Structure 1
Amino acid sequence: MILSLLFLFASSVQQHGSQAESSVSSKLHHTTMKQQNGGHNSKHEKIITVSGEGTVQSPDFPHTYPRNRLLVWRLVAAGDGARIQLTFDERFGLEDPEDGICKYDFVEIEEPGEGTVLGRWCGSESTPGKQVSQGNQIRIRFKSDQYFPSKPGFSIHYSLLPAGRPLISGPLSPAPPALQSVDVLTDAVAGFSTVEEVMKYLEPDRWQQDVEELYKPSWQVLGKSFMHPKKSRGAVDLNLLREEVRLYSCTPRNFSVSLREELKRTDTIFWPNCLLVQRCGGNCACCAHRCFDCHCAPTKITKKYQEVLLLRYRGGGRGILKSLTDIALEHHEECDCVCKTHSQG
């Protein structure tokens, strides 16, 4: 009986010890995995307090980085009003983009407070430019998928910019077109005058090739383009279409005005009683889509003098006074669409 009790007690102790060891091992494994992934919380975000200089880089830099990795660093500047400056090492190389978009392996920089992506980079053709945070924080995110890891990866040197210190790098680099929202890209493209300018903005390195490809026949569509001659440069001139819209939207136009109403001289008769003036006219349908109220307004006004016959009744029944006189009328020489914001309303 005593031997049986001792055997049961020993088995219980051994089982309890194994469970404890398994629990400790699980915790250690979980902690190790978090450390390997740069994790600080459930979002795998590692917080770094920036009081001087340091470096954040892809694992094994400058050698091939591992697959299936997600690393996030949030850099927080020490000191009120301080900002953070990031400088990429010239040795930069991640998996190439697809259709100009970094889909698979990339490094991304974001303003945590605004949720604004300052840039996403991949490939190896060029090194990203210097970045400076607008606030006291900035987030760096690195992602690699399970295919085609590259080298050398990336290395980012960070440094502290004390409050009041001017930016050395100038304004922040805007996000590349592929990362911009539809609204932002719409406004950006609308500001260009030619197809060439649009293509140069979208793909600075290959814009000429893209322009040529625009006018190549598409054999996937066997409709009118198959029955009629091939497309050629100038068959449909998009630049001309855009210019026509610009010329006839909000421009100076000839209007006839009543001189009595224009000059507010209701006691006077003019001959001719109407004259032609240039005034802004046309709609503003091409204003920025986020404009609350867009209207055509003059941006340059001049006064032009015109000699006319003036007729005015004399007092006391003495007949009509007849004289030639110069009158000044406003002419609009330049016009533009002006956006009226909510605050101005």
Structure 2
Amino acid sequence: MVPLLLLLLVSSHHQHGSEAESSHISKIHHSSVKEQNGVQNSQHERVMSVSEEGMIHSPDFPNTYPRNTVLVWRLVAISENARIQLTFDKRFGLEDAEDGICKYDYVEIEEPIGGMVLGRWCGSQAVPGPQLSKGNQIRIRFTSDEYFPSNPGFCIHYSLFLQQRSAEPEVPPVLPHTLQSIEELNEAVAGFSTVEELMKYLEPERWQLDMENLYKPTWHTLGKSFFQTKKGKGVVDLNLLREEVRLYSCTSRNFSVSLREELQRTDAIFWPSCLLVKRCGGNCACCAHRCYDCQCVPTKVCRKYHEVLMLRHRPGSHGLQKALTDVPLEHHEECGCVCRDGLD
């Protein structure tokens, strides 16, 4: 009985000692997580609260940065209405691109919400231009592989960009449709989405009666005979007709593009040879503004990277060099009709 009791006491002491040691290790680990200037170290990304000017840079800037490094910063403005302005230091140099694409060492900026990449940069020939976040957050990612680190790396200065609310423009009073010219009335009619809204605008007092009259049977005379034409909402839906016109007007839609033509590469073959991209298309025959010569143009553009197989002739060899590569393609997310005169 004595050895058994002694064994239980030893086991209990060892268990309590492990719990104390575990608690001590947890405290050490927690204390090793530092928070300075709003920066909280994390295994995946560093979250930085932006309330004033500051900077982030590659390790050892302006000297050679280390190999095999992945660093991610997420900048968060203290106000939801604020934006974040990024400006690159003129001292900029990372490993050069291959075939015009930053594949190995690069710095990349993206929107955390939606994951839209604003740009990816490497090399040292041109310093990236200033960047402005769409919302109150922005993410910066730095990656280096195990070969050919360069210098000086990069340094990005950040600051808050407060949006100034412009004074509300004075809206001119809308004339009754009876006093409008045919051009003014045409422009006003084009802005309504449904027949009901249009009728309310034209006849506020009796629009319901006009709606009923639109679909009532009508009688026509042909010689001495009369015949009735039936109308019904189930036969013709003017709202659907308008929607069909909208779909075939200026919108962002899928287009198939040839990679060799799009990238202007005559020295390589890509597989697949064509990719689908979003590009503006359709007609602008029904411009809401008074313009007789409209053009469908992109109003919001983003660049997306697509992984494809690239084949090239290897110098001094009869075989083909095969490699997976990322190709950047422009996508038009939003489109609009613009007067051609305004584009010149």
TM interval, short-chain normalised = 0.3 to 0.5
Which of the pair has more CA radius of gyration?
Answer: 1
> TM-score normalized by structure 1?
0.45
> TM-score normalized by structure 2?
0.45
